[in-house]
C-alpha cells in the first residue's frame, strides 16, 4: 500500500474538510496542514505518494501551497503525485496554471467544486461573489461523490 501524505492549504474550512475526508478514504493517510506549526520543516522521506490539496481564489491556487510545492519540486517529481483543487469554478484549473510541471507529472487531478459561507466573507469578497453569482448568500457546488471517486482512483493505484 502506498504511504500517502496529503498536504493541504485553504483559506476557510472546505479544503481542510476535503483533505480529512480523502485521508479517511485512503485508510488513514497522513495530513499536513500548511497553516499548522512546523509545516515548513516537514520531510517527505518515507512517503510514496503526495496529494497537494488547495483552494483557489481569484484564479490563484493557494499561495502557501504553491510556495511549499515549488520549494520541493524536484523531490515531488520523484514521487507519485495527485492534485486536489477546491473552488467553485470547475472549468478552470488554477493548480495547473500555477504548477505546470507538477501537474504534468501528477497521476490524478480532481476539482470537485467548492463552498462559500457568506458570513465568513470580507466586504470585498462579498462584492466579488455578488458580481460573479448575481446573488448574496451561501453557495456550494461541491460534489462529495466526485471527491470519493478520486479517493477510489487513488486507492486502486495503491
Ligand atoms: C472572493 C472569492 C473568490 C473566489 N475565486 C475563485 C476562483 O477564482 N476559482 C474558483 O474555482 N473558486 C473561487 N472561489 C471559490 C472558493 O475557492 C471556494 O469557496 C472554496 O471552497 C474555498 O475553499 P476554502 O474554504 O478551503 O478556502 C472564490 C471564492 C471567493 C469568496
Class for domain 4-156, per CATH? Answer: alpha beta
- Sequence-ordered alpha helix ranges (H) in 26-99: 63-71, 73-77, 94-98
**Is 126's C-beta closer than 6 angstroms to any atom of ligand 1?**
no
**CA 110 to CA 71: how far, in whole Å?**
23
Q: Is the pLDDT of residue 47 over 90?
A: yes
Does the beta carbon of 55 sit less than 6 angstroms from any atom of ligand 1? yes
Q: Give, for ligand 1, the residue of 56, 94, 138 to mutate: max count of ligand atoms closer than 8 Å to Cβ.
A: 56
Using CB atoms within 10 Å of the CB of residue 38, give its burial: 0 to 12 exposed, 13 to 18 middle, 19+ buried. exposed
- 11 burial class (0-12, 13-18, 19+ CB within 10 angstroms)? middle
Please give the model's pTM, rounded to 2 decimal places: 0.97
The whole-angstrom separation of Cα 12 and Cα 35 is: 11
Q: What are the structural domain ranges in the chain?
A: 4-156
Indicate whether residue 113 lines ligand 1 (CB < 6 A).
no
Per-residue pLDDT of 69-98, as tens digits, reads: 999 999 999 999 999 999 999 999 999 999
Amino acid at each position: 500500500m502506498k504511504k500517502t501524505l496529503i498536504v493541504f492549504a485553504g483559506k476557510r474550512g472546505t479544503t481542510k474538510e476535503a483533505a480529512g475526508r480523502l485521508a479517511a478514504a485512503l485508510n488513514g493517510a497522513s495530513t499536513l496542514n500548511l497553516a499548522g506549526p512546523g509545516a515548513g520543516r516537514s520531510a517527505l522521506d518515507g512517503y510514496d505518494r503526495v496529494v497537494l490539496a488547495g483552494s483557489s481564489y481569484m484564479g490563484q491556487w493557494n499561495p502557501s501551497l504553491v510556495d511549499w510545492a515549488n520549494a520541493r519540486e524536484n523531490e515531488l517529481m520523484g514521487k507519485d503525485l495527485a492534485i486536489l483543487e477546491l473552488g467553485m469554478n470547475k472549468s478552470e484549473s488554477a493548480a495547473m496554471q500555477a504548477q505546470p510541471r507538477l501537474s504534468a507529472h501528477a497521476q490524478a487531478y480532481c476539482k470537485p467544486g467548492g463552498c462559500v459561507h457568506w458570513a465568513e466573507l470580507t466586504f470585498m469578497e462579498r462584492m466579488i461573489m455578488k458580481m460573479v453569482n448575481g446573488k448574496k448568500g451561501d453557495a456550494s457546488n461541491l460534489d462529495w461523490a466526485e471527491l470519493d471517486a478520486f479517493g477510489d482512483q487513488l486507492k486502486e493505484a495503491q
